[in-house]
A and B are shown apart, each in its own frame.
Chain A
Amino acid sequence: MSAAAPMRLEDRLPGRSGALLWVIAATGVAIGPHLFNQPVWVVLTTTLALAWRGGVHLGRLPMPPRWILVLLTVLMTGLVLGRYGTLFGRDAGVALLVLMTGLKLLETRTYRDAMLVVFLGYFVIITNFFYSQEIPVALYMLVAVFATTAALVRLNAGEAIQPVRESFGLAGLMLGQAVPVMIILFLLFPRLPGPLWGMPQDSTTGVTGLSDSMSPGSISQLLQSDAPAFRVSFTDDPPVPAQRYWRGPVFAHFDGRTWRAGRETEVDALPQAPDLERVVTYTINLEPHERRWLLALDIPVSVPPDARMIEDHYLVSSRPVRRLVQYTLASRTDLILEPELSEARRRQALNLPARAAPRAQALAQDWRSRHEDDEALIRTALGHFNEEPFFYTLSPPRLERDPVDQFLFEARAGFCEHYASAFVVLMRAAGIPARVVTGYQGGEYNRLGNYLLVRQSDAHAWAEVWLQGRGWVRVDPTAAVSPERIESGIRAALSGDLGAPDFIRRSLDWGIVRLQWALWRDSIDYYWSGWVLAFGPERQGELLERLGLGRLDWRGMITLMVALVGVVVLVFAAIFLWRNRLPVADPLAVVYRHFCRRLARGGLTRAPHEPPMDFARRIARERPELAEPVMAFTREYVALRYGASPDPERFGRLRGLLRRIRV
């Protein structure tokens, strides 16, 4: 006897059933999406490895010699190292995993190798989530998991030739049985605060949002993007479109070109909202934007956990928003904000670089000399924007040295940030405390999902002035130039503007069906992000509390999780055992099972398809000392079970014969 040589896959499985081809195909499906995430050579090399192994299986190609495998492994590791400078981290790690899965498959000879490739395939599938967590990707991954599981089933079908439909059916059944476990793991697996797996931050690179400063042109990039910024569902009716101002960072510092936020001093006391009836409550699902702002309906009167309200009345989270977050807020649209302005804050709100915008300053001082009353002066300023030939456009001319003066007196064309910036400069020059507020304005109401979708293209900037007795009052100079922008949204304001981004113009031409589909798609997206992606530590805690489990720490969650998974496994096991239960009613079968068990203890195992007499004869051959009692018992059993006239009295004798058998 030679030492147990590893069984070749082709020997173990009937060649034609081609389990290995299934594994190759499933691996191909698993690595497919990485064509978009990884350098082409990574996927190409892996595909070639798969094709080679397929060729070997079909007998067209020889198995690669060992030195080629070693060379390829070293070469590929070197290439990954050269491309990324490391073997760790998301991109390098995934590249290495994909390549090594292909190479492992290439050298697969035994059943064990093939099983390893299948499990590597599951890992490759999960890496797709490192790049995108959108629904199409999730659906694709589901298909990939299905294919890989079918390959797994195929690989373990053993000798019997399994019809294709049966392989897929069994894979589907297994995945179906995994659903309850999946739900339990999803709900109870302890969440880490932060993005999935605490991966490096590059998973959110390229995400846009409001900037922490405002200079000419900073918002126009946002206006080009129709990506969702956040979605809001209201407890009651949503406010009218003209009231949909979503407050983001507030800028009080101006250096002549750029507006910046002040120090993040926390507000002393939250704005008081005595009249509860006029409070608007709503829940926001904020898309990741890499900054710390939390958007809120103007003006928030509550603060979500883990966040603060800054003196200038905007919300800042303690961490950058790197994954979708959900929070519930209350706001008042008619609040007297900061009725008393301290001297220091007043100075801050009037600060203007001396050399900035001399012509604007002169104009403001001219207005001041004609109007004693602040409100009259504001009306004059808005009138100025309205009556003089100012235009609203997303592609304004470039502004050079002194952007405010150039905009006010030469270009006279721009969008919200130009108007807000110029207006605040004018107000400060006239001695009225003023500041710039950035955020979003408007939003598209999705009647299907009952929520308001606010896109990046809804980004907006407006002004706030402080008036004695009225506090900070919102003034939107853009409304003076282009009232449609505020009343009906940016699409209406731009309908005649050739400078509008492509997607906005195209969407104006779209038929109603297209629009409807877009609503559907966004609704699905909304629930996907709200219920799946945003299911972080906060929502998890909230859910457990609502289930009456109180605040569970991770230990409690794991205990509960393991317990519930155990229950699911027991239930399935019970169903399985019940379905496959042996007919206990037949005492004859019970005695025979005792007989078989007794012999099995002595190493004499009956194959399930082995008839009783054949079994007895085999024992008589292998263990002659057992021949007599075993044959006697079996003859009696066979006569009782298959005989023409079974005699019930002989049943007692059968038991006696069983006792005589001692293995």
Chain B
Amino acid sequence: MNKTLPDTTMAARIDAILAQLNTVIFGKPGPIRLSLACLLARGHLLVEDLPGVGKTTLAHALARTLGLQFQRVQFTSDLLPADILGVSVFSTERKRFEFHPGPVFSQLVLADEINRATPKSQSALLEAMEEQQVTIEGTTRRLPEPFFVIATQNPQEQIGTFPLPESQMDRFLMRIHLGYPDAAAERALLRGRDRRELVEELPAQVDAPALLALQRQVTQVHVSDGLLDYLQAIVAHTRRPALYQMGLSPRAALALMRAAQAWALVDHRDHVLPEDIQAVLPPVAGHRLKLNESPGLAPEQVTRRLIEAVPVP
């Protein structure tokens, strides 16, 4: 049957990754699946939620499970670009400047509360995300492969925060919400071991080359003409004049396709279905779209309406 991947080991690996993540974060299979798909599609993830719902744990668990080197940066209003990127310090021993790489030079960077830093510091990170490289004092340094940023953001408007502008939100492939766990999951959490300890003990399920292979595999997932018709119909709908403040850009369309491919791969398929598009549309398009009228409408409602407005061919 077509339900299996050509390479069964890959499917097994993905299942193992998901299973391990679910042992750490209870009751959130959807967001976990999305964040894995996001990573496999080589995209960066924005987690928007209240403090304490497990954003950091998710990032940490992802890093451990995927065998990635992990760094966390707490964004504050006095954070400087150099605190992220690194700085050259004069070494008195060697009589020359030595570069001390910043936390951005890790495979998985958790940028906590990104909206509390100044726009200057924010854009330092966002440019690094986009370029996959950092230029400091005339030297261009490549970032490690794979490179994955999870940024968190507190959705509540607070004094002294700098919400990310739309153009920068576009750098994130997905924006997801974790939300409160349900009663059973919360009970399991309360009964269970300390998360931090648990995460430290997690074994890596894949190594870097295997992860890169999985990322390559995403681009191999088949996208049929019928599916592209559907995808383009969705994008075209958002570009109808005066309906949205701005439609989905070609970059967003590409992101939507990559995310759907990754989603299909996580679902052990070698081809994309309209269901995949619909599954990844809310996290991929939610932070890129705004209806012209009633800007107060929640992003979930905007994307739900978008899905309902476009018939599946």
Beta-carbon contact of B242 and A612 below 8 Å: no
Residues of A within 8 Å of B292, CB to CB, are 161, 163
- Cβ contact within 8 Å between A644 and B270: yes
Q: How far is the CB of B244 from chain A (nearest CB, A)?
A: 10
Q: Assess whether A579 is interfacial by the CB under 8 Å rule.
A: no
Other than the known A609-B309, A643-B271, what 9 A-B pairs have Cβ atoms closer than 8 Å?
A: A14-B294, A17-B294, A164-B242, A165-B241, A614-B275, A635-B2, A641-B226, A642-B222, A642-B273
**Chain B residues positioned under 8 Å from A613 (CB to CB):** 273, 275
A448 CB-CB contact with B under 8 Å: no
Interface residues of B (CB under 8 A from A): 1-2, 222, 224, 226-227, 241-243, 270-275, 278, 291-294, 305, 307-313
User: Are A16 and B294 interface neighbours, CB within 8 A?
Assistant: yes
Q: Is the CB of B307 within 8 A of A639?
A: no
The docked-state distance in angstroms from the alpha carbon of A161 to that of B311 is 17
Q: Which chain B residues border A614 with CB–CB below 8 Å?
A: 275, 278
Task: Answer yes or no: A1 CB below 8 A from chain B CBs.
Answer: no
Interface range for A: 20 to 34
The smallest C-beta distance from A169 to any residue of chain B, in angstroms, reads: 10
Choice from B271, B305, B307 contacting A160 with Cβ under 8 Å? B305
Most A-side CB within 10 Å, residue of B271, B292, B311: B271
B224 closest partner in A (C-beta): A642
CB-defined interface of A8-27 with B at 8 Å, one 1/0 digit per residue? 00000010110000000000
A69 to B35, alpha carbons, bound, how many Å? 59
Cα A610 to Cα B242 with chains together (Å) = 26
Q: For B272, list chain A residues within 8 Å (CB).
A: 642
User: A608 at the A/B interface (Cβ < 8 Å)?
Assistant: yes
Tell me how far the C-beta of B125 lies from the nearest C-beta in chain A, rounded to whole angstroms: 35
**Bound complex: CA A635 to CA B310 (Å):** 22
Total A-B contacts with CB atoms under 8 angstroms apart: 73
Q: Which residues of A contact B305 (CB under 8 A)?
A: 159-161
List the A side residues contacting B222 at CB < 8 Å.
Answer: 642-645
Q: Does A638 contact B (CB under 8 A)?
A: yes
* Complex interface: chain A residues within 8 A of B313 (CB): 589
Q: Is A161 touching B224 in the complex (CB atoms < 8 A)?
A: no
Q: State whether the Cβ of A611 lies closer than 8 Å to any Cβ in chain B.
A: yes
- Contact residue among B224, B226, B242, B311 (Cβ-Cβ distance under 8 Å from A166): B242
Q: List 7 A-B contacts (CB under 8 A).
A: A17-B294, A165-B242, A166-B242, A166-B243, A609-B309, A610-B312, A642-B272
Given A16-B293, A161-B291, the answer on whether A609 and B311 have CB atoms closer than 8 Å is: yes
B310 in contact with A641 (CB, 8 Å): no
Asked if A163 and B275 sit within 8 Å, CB to CB, the answer is no
User: What's the Cα separation between A644 and B294 when bound, in Å?
Assistant: 41
Distance between Cα atoms of A642 and B273 in the complex (Å): 6
Q: Are A642 and B226 in contact (CB under 8 A)?
A: yes
Q: How far is the CA of A521 from the CA of B181 in the complex (A)?
A: 76
Chain B, Cβ-Cβ closest to A589: B313
Q: From residue 607 to 661 of chain A, which have CB atoms closer than 8 A to chain B?
A: 607-614, 635, 638-639, 641-645
Judge whether B309 and A160 touch: CB under 8 Å: yes
Partner of B241 from the list A161, A163, A635, A639 (CB cut-off 8 Å) is A163
Within 8 A of B (CB), among A146-163: 159-161, 163
Contact status B293-A163, CB under 8 Å: yes
For the complex of A and B, the 3 pairs showing the least CB-CB separation, nearest first, are A608-B311, A644-B222, A163-B242
Q: Which of A456-502 contact B (CB under 8 A)?
A: none
**A175 vs B132: C-alpha distance when bound (angstroms):** 56
How far is it, in angstroms, between the C-alpha of A159 and the C-alpha of B270 when the chains are bound?
36
